[in-house]
Amino acid sequence: MKILLINPPNPDPPPSYYGPHYGLSLIGAVLEAAGHRVAGRDYDLWKREAVLAELPRLAASESPDLVGLSCLSSNRWTVMAMADAVKKASPKTTVVVGGPWATLEPGFVLGRCKADIVAVGDGEETALELVGALSDGRSLASVRGLAFRQAGAVRRTGARGPFQDVDSLPYPAFHLFDAAGQLEARSRPEAQALAGHISAAGRRCLAMHSALMVLGSRGCVYRCLFCPMSTFQGPVRRHSPSYFIGMVEHLCKTYAQKRMVFGDNYFTLDQDWAGEISDRLVRSKLGLQWICMTRPDAVSRSLLAKMGRAGCREIAYGLESGSPAVQKRIGKRMQLDRVGPALKDTRDAGISATLMLMVGNPGESTATVRETAGFCAGLEPDRVLVHTTKVYPGTALHALAEKQGVIPAGFYERDDHRAPPYTGERTLAELKAFKGLLQPRTTFLGAGAGCVNGCCELRRPGEGAPVLPKLLALASLRAERTVLGGGEPFLRKDAAELLAEALVLQMHGLWFYTTARPLAAPRQEKLWEALTASLRKDVARGVIVPLFSSDPARHDRATQVQGSLVQARAGMLRWRRAGGEVHAWLHLSKENVSGLAAWLAWTADHGVSKVSFLFGSSPPGWGTADWKDLPSMTEASQAVLKASAAAGALGIEVSSFGIPECLLSDDQVPSVENRRVFDEFLPPSGEPVSLRGLRCEKLKTKPSACKACGKAKLCEGVWRRYLRLHGSSEFHGL
């Protein structure tokens, strides 16, 4: 029989390529082993219209007897349109739809398109029996795990249980989907190659952008509310270590591939199994680099050491929440006291640790999100991902959301690929506020004209100390946002080349700490051409402008640069007109603290959308007011609170930095240090420095009043220099 398997377009494709569709590749391998002629097409990155135009030509050229389509909830309407297109072009071709959405809603699929059959559940045995029945002209009723139309109604055959003998399967037939060509076309070698092993510990963020994914197991023993496994009925089924290593060796040799993703939901569920896999990888001498996902309370120091020696370069740890109450509500039930040691042991093993967090789960509140932020404050993961809880079909959360009315009537009748956020207990506005309480990482990088220690050199790194391209690459792998500063980045002679380098690295969220004066300078067309191109491609996004007063004389005296504010005004407006964002850091002083409301209005007139009032230093230590010129913290906090009342009407988002919460509540004015616990500075050595850790260890301390404070875990305390000048009488516990 001639069979064509198709991976449909993904409406929201990920930035990384982890190989062909795994389920279709396994089904293709099973059918090939049985002697059938199998072809495949991967339309993952295609637009729907292009695929629908392609299908009649494909049906004519391939003349398949059967077409198999995999269907997710996100691409359900595209898949159904594809089924109709195939049937129109080739009415005699049998069209089968499988995958998660088809398994959950076979009647939905058959009732809205011309597909002939829906495969329900694991597809390997079902596909083989179905093709045999069609070839022999036997009734479909004998094949378990199917749904089809009969006499105007949808008929279901007997249920097929989870596939058990996973070692009996052939290796996935990735060749059907041109895995070799896809790996080459979608690789992003620049960032990975440049970042390299640049620290003494050999630690790095791999964040693979092109790799093959393999599965060593199916299923999970946990039933986390938000996960499809929460409603799965069946045991964990695991490949033997010998099978798994054999598959890895086969794929490495077939595709000359040295990077893989071990895509198990819970790779170290059986630590002995994971340890044996690691031991065998060491003995194989494949030189494989791989990443995996697991729980931080399911690893040990000895296992991590084995995994590191075996080539593991990154582990994604699903923490979700640092609140025991939320952990219990979602069924995660993690041993939180093991998270910190696990991340440390991971780093010690030369493996990067990614921390995955969610806000907005059942039981979430402002207090629990802050509890999570406080819990995470000392963890220092290599990467951190923060997502808002979404409701996906087939999860226990989806069943709860349906009862609560979160899923609107007719929601899946709409051609909308987005999963709804969980609003069973909180509004969308509250969920957005939760996300603001726990923000992903910003990496600050010294890359301005005049920065020190040679990190500014825009040349390809040799064997010596890391230079700017290497640091840019590492920053792109570690953070969602990178800020270049430590001097004036737009005065670099090679500023345009720097932007080109960022484009090669496919960076996004690139910001510049700048006086904005160079943006208004004449004869900057080469720079502006590069900047506007970077803005269009979302490489560059914004500027952060330090300001000391809206009065030119006072501002210029503070910065010791004549005419700086006049030029800054023009530069800020020009950047805003070009489509970039403008944020401002307003340094508080005795001279300006009484006029903050007027100053906010001034910034709004100059294109600023976000303002941080800084007391003392700035977050990365770039630009500091004279400590003797500072007002009291009490006066400053009262002035900031009063000024912030006008921010909403001006369209400005306001925050503060350097003032503890006992004087200025985070509920009233968001605190930068409370909400950005993962921010870091990347020095020329390439070994990241936690800004929170640096401040808490060297620059700040907690007065005696802090000992009994309920906010002490998240609060950083008070500047040591301020306490030496003014004492601690202003501060009190909450």
Specify the DSSP element, H or E, that contains 432.
helix 428-437
Angle 279-243-102 (CA atoms, 0-180°, nearest 5)? 125
Residue 422 shares a structural domain with residue 467: no
Quick one: pLDDT at residue 463? 47
Residue 510 shares a structural domain with residue 601: yes
Structure tokens, 494:
């090679």
SS3 of residue 147 by DSSP: strand
Residue 271 shares a structural domain with residue 337: yes
Contacts of 145-151 spanning 24+ positions with Cβ under 8 A? 145/119, 145/120, 145/121, 146/117, 146/118, 146/119, 146/120, 147/106, 147/107, 147/110, 147/117, 147/118, 147/120, 148/110, 148/116, 148/117, 148/118, 149/110, 149/116
Residue 335 shares a structural domain with residue 454: no
Decide if 185 is inside a domain. Answer: no
Amino acid sitting at position 168: S
Quick one: pLDDT at residue 189? 54
Segments in the chain below pLDDT 70: 188-207, 450-466, 560-563
Decide if 49 is inside a domain. Answer: yes
Amino acid sitting at position 578: A
Quick one: pLDDT at residue 467? 74
Decide if 519 is inside a domain. Answer: yes
- Beta bridge partners, 437, equal none
DSSP states along 236-253 = -EE--HHHHHHHHHHHHH
| CA-closest candidate to residue 318, choices 288, 351, 295, 289 | 295
| Backbone φ and ψ of 446, nearest 5° | -70, 100
Residue 70 contacts by C-beta under 8 Å, 6 or more apart in sequence? 6, 7, 8, 21, 23, 24, 79, 97, 98, 99
| CA-closest candidate to residue 188, choices 2, 14, 422 | 14
Amino acid sitting at position 505: L
Orientation angle between helical segments 76-89 and 48-62, nearest 10 degrees? 30
Q: Domain of 720?
A: 442-726
Residue 433 shares a structural domain with residue 448: no
Decide if 120 is inside a domain. Answer: yes
Residue 377 shares a structural domain with residue 446: no
Decide if 188 is inside a domain. Answer: no
Residue 423 shares a structural domain with residue 463: no
Asked if 502 and 472 touch (Cβ cutoff 8 Å), the reply is yes
Q: How many CB atoms lie within 10 A of CB 654?
A: 23
Q: Is the Cα dihedral 385, 319, 402, 106 positive or negative? A: positive
Residue 481 shares a structural domain with residue 404: no
Decide if 170 is inside a domain. Answer: no
Which of these three, 156, 181, 216, is where a domain ends?
156
Residue 446 shares a structural domain with residue 432: no
Decide if 576 is inside a domain. Answer: yes
Q: How many domains does the chain have?
A: 3
SS (H, E, C) 580-646: CEEEEEEECCCCCHHHHHHHHHHHHHCCCCEEEEECCCCCCCCCCCCHHHCCCHHHHHHHHHHHHCC
| CA-closest candidate to residue 46, choices 35, 36, 58 | 58
| CA-closest candidate to residue 277, choices 307, 253, 301 | 307
Quick one: pLDDT at residue 326? 97
Residue 49 shares a structural domain with residue 132: yes
- Looking up residue 130, the CATH number of its domain turns out to be 3.40.50.280
Quick one: pLDDT at residue 710? 85
Cα torsion through 116, 120, 123, 126, rounded to 10: -70
SS3 of residue 326 by DSSP: helix
Residue 401 contacts by C-beta under 8 Å, 6 or more apart in sequence? 391, 407, 420, 422, 424
Quick one: pLDDT at residue 232? 83
Decide if 731 is inside a domain. Answer: no
Which of these three, 122, 156, 190, is where a domain ends?
156
Residue 575 shares a structural domain with residue 525: yes
SS (H, E, C) 373-408: HHHHCCCCCCEEEEEECECCCCCHHHHHHHHHCCCC
Quick one: pLDDT at residue 547? 93
- Looking up residue 234, the CATH number of its domain turns out to be 3.20.20.70
Residue 207 shares a structural domain with residue 317: yes
Which of these three, 133, 156, 179, is where a domain ends?
156
